[in-house]
Amino acid sequence: MKSSGIGGQAVLEGIMMKNGDAYAVAVRTPEDQIVLKVDEYHMFSSTRKWARLPVIRGVFNFVDSMILGMRTLAYSADFFEEESESENGKKQDKERPAGKGRGGEEKEESGMGKAAMAMTVAFSILLAVGIFMVLPVVLVSFLRKVTQSSALIALAEGLVRIGIFLAYVALISRMEDIKRVFMYHGAEHKCINCVEHGMELNVENVMKSSRLHKRCGTSFLLIVMIVSVVFFMFVRVETLWLRILTRICFIPLIAGVSYEFIRLAGSSDSGLVELLSRPGLCLQRLTTKEPDESMAQVAITAVEAVFDWKKYLKENFGGEYAGREHENQKG
């Protein structure tokens, strides 16, 4: 299976899809209309050859994904902030075109807006590092009184880290608002699976496709947790502050290695890769839910804005797709 190269994420009542530098955000508004925004986001590695080297590219792709993800999430949230203001008796412009702000003016990202976004991304990264990398080190430090085996302590630390991550995912998956986001997450995966398995992109085919995908961010994060266990079993330091420092310093390398595996998994049908991908796919049963047809339509709208799926099918499935297309036209 050849990877389509497209990826995305769920936003509030919508989907963001990215292909190369182009991305599209499709949102179903409170008025039950699909509003589409198409724009470009130039990744750090797109203009720097050294940043496209294996392992290194994973670090920059992760940061770029966080920035774009938060930007598109804020865009989708704006529709529902206006709805809330309307419910409170405030005036809102209900016929807002895509990419327009209140009153119809173009929304521009000011210097202050960019600074706020950078601070949000930085804070999110620091919080994640503190919870998932530093906290497990502190929690298992008492084991030094029981055993001097660095390997055993590193294993315990890794299990605690994975446990915290799984508990976090399980907890947020029970929140009502998050459940709808996870349904759109499922629609995103279904669209990509539909195309990558040689099917015409329509609601019927999307709905019968799998909501699990090997290139998912959920799988990436779980792989990060697992890779960190392996790495830190070989990094042996005695003092607590040095252990914390090494955990922080190794994050880029761990993220880079994890990215390479996810990249490989997205285009490989190897039995070994399938086996290693299984834990991440199982975890996606929590972070994706079955969408309804209206959500599938939103996802299709986002895909078609940035990706020529008909060309992809003809190039990768050839006569098989052309035959199906011909039959559909006859029908």
Tell me the three-class secondary structure of the chain, residue by residue: CCCCCCEEEEECCEEEEEECCEEEEEEECCCCCEEEEEEECCCHHHHCHHHHCCCHHHHHHHHHHHHHHHHHHHHHHHHHHHHHHHHCCCCCCCCCCCCECHHHCECCCCHHHHHHHHHHHHHHHHHHHHHHHHHHHHHCHHHHHCCCCHHHHHHHHHHHHHHHHHHHHHHHCCCHHHHHHHHHHHHHHHHHHHHHCCCCCCHHHHHCCCCCCCCCHHHHHHHHHHHHHHHHHHCCCCCHHHHHHHHHHCHHHHHHHHHHHHHHHCCCCCHHHHHHHHHHHHHHHHHCCCCCHHHHHHHHHHHHHHCCHHHHHHHHHHHHHHHHHHHHHHC
Higher pLDDT among residues 77 and 45, named by residue: 77
Quick: pLDDT tens for 82-97.
565 555 554 444 444 4
Q: What is the pLDDT of residue 322?
A: 52
Q: Flag whether pLDDT at 282 surpasses 90.
A: yes
Q: What tokens were used for 95? A: 């016929």
Over residues 106-121, the mean pLDDT reads 59
Q: Which of 104-108, 233-237, 250-254 has the lowest mean pLDDT?
A: 104-108
Q: What is the pLDDT of residue 318?
A: 79
Higher pLDDT among residues 3 and 284, named by residue: 284
Residue 197, amino acid = H
Q: What is the pLDDT of residue 45?
A: 78
Q: Flag whether pLDDT at 111 surpasses 60.
A: no
Can you tell me the distance from the alpha carbon of 329 to that of 331, in angstroms, rounded to the nearest whole number?
5
pTM (two decimals): 0.83
Domain boundaries, the chain: 7-90+111-330
Can you tell me the distance from the alpha carbon of 122 to that of 117, in angstroms, rounded to the nearest whole number?
9
pLDDT band at 57 (very low <50, low <70, confident <90, very high): very high
pLDDT band at 117 (very low <50, low <70, confident <90, very high): low
φ, ψ at 237 (rounded to 5°)? -130, 150
Exposure string over 53-72, b if 16+ CB within 10 A, otherwise e = eeebbbbbbbbbbbbbbbbb
Can you tell me the distance from the alpha carbon of 237 to that of 244, in angstroms, rounded to the nearest whole number?
10
Please give the share of the chain, as a percent, with pLDDT higher than 70. Answer: 84
pLDDT band at 103 (very low <50, low <70, confident <90, very high): very low
Q: Flag whether pLDDT at 40 surpasses 60.
A: yes
Over residues 108-130, the mean pLDDT reads 70
pLDDT band at 182 (very low <50, low <70, confident <90, very high): very high
Q: What is the pLDDT of residue 211?
A: 96
